[in-house]
Amino acid sequence: MRSKLRGKDFITLRDWTKEEIDTLLEVSFELKEKFLKGEPTPYLPYKTIFLMFFEQSTRTRNSMEAGIAQLGGHANYLDTSTMQISHGEVAKDTASVLSRYGHAIACRNCFWGIGNKYLNNMAKHSRVPIMSLQDDLYHPMQGIADLMTIIEKKKETKNLKVSIIWAYATSHKKPISVPLTQCLLFPRYGMDVTLAYPEGFEMPDWVIEEAKKNAEENGGSFRITHDMEEAYRDADVVIPKNWGSWSGKKGDVEISQFKDWKCTEEIMKLAKKDVIYMHALPADRGNEVDDSVIDGPNSVIYDEAENRLHTAKAVMWLTMG
């Protein structure tokens, strides 16, 4: 299976079979163990990956740069505002050229209605794997790290009660790609997933249909609620995170009316005692979540963030090796 993944694009986990995702998780855990033991992993010597960013990044950029270095390769960080893209160069030309210079191209482009199409356009013209570092629809790097963290902390995913919950934030309008990816991925592992949000922050219809289908096929469940307390009640995993209302349906929603959609110590008491709190970061502290929760004993945010390194390394090794 590992050799079959060589050259495969990593734009959405929808394009990866469950067996392929299982292999990715297996390799991620192997690489994490070696990292903790201090064992070198020079599996991609002299390989180059180009990291194209249309937006800012902390965890994604550094997990990729550190990861490829630990695999014996090198990353070229590309701020697209300093590239000829800023003068109108198209995805075809960028991908055609960069794929002749190295061994993979990874890109973050979250512009609504553009990002995922841009990545797929690059994939059509690239000689090497294209990896998504987040687009307007998907964030597979975050999704696989989240899944790894849940397995690491809870061991069993079957009928695990996982709640993906909208949270109030003022920092910036965040893409739907993280919760969308979780909605599609977690039911494939038999989890009982609850998606909670105030009206106006729904996922696209096709996402809900596919999430329910994935749940049915894998012995889990998927439901929607507009009651925040219901989402927290008896949950094993809570993921309260802001996302913006997506264009093309209801447009922008005035979010100030939903300030009470916040993860507090009080509402966490509704969940199971051993519930884990997760967040992809950056969190809007004080709005999305109280410090006492995100810094509390149920929070696994830094383990979750660390796993971005190990899963990124697994993706690169399997597709570039």
What's the CA gap between 122 and 203, in Å, rounded? 26
Which 3 state secondary structure label does DSSP give 53? strand
Residues 149 and 187 in one domain: yes
Task: Give the model's pLDDT for residue 250.
Answer: 46
Looking at the fold, whether 156 and 275 belong to one and the same domain comes out as yes
User: How many alpha carbons fall within 13 Å on the CB side of residue 148?
Assistant: 31
Using pLDDT thresholds of 50, 70 and 90, give the confidence band for residue 166.
very high
| Residues 6-49: tens digit of each pLDDT | 999 999 999 999 999 999 999 999 999 999 999 999 999 999 99
- Is residue 254 located within the same domain as residue 149? yes
Q: Are 232 and 311 members of one domain?
A: no
pLDDT digits (tens, 9 = 90+) for 102-158: 999 999 999 999 999 999 999 999 999 999 999 999 999 999 999 999 999 999 999
Q: What is the pTM of this model?
A: 0.96
Tally of domains in the chain: 2
SS3 74: strand
Least confident of 113-127, 185-199, 246-260: 246-260
Q: 310 and 272 in one domain?
A: no
Residue 256 pLDDT: 87
Owning domain of residue 294: 141-302
Contact 304, 145 (CB under 8 A): yes
Asked if residue 254 has pLDDT above 90, the reply is no
Do 74 and 222 reside in the same domain of the chain? no
Assess whether 161 and 296 both reside in one domain.
yes
Q: Where are the alpha helices (DSSP H) in 155-287?
A: 177-185, 205-218, 228-232, 265-268
Q: What is the CATH number of the domain that holds 221?
A: 3.40.50.1370
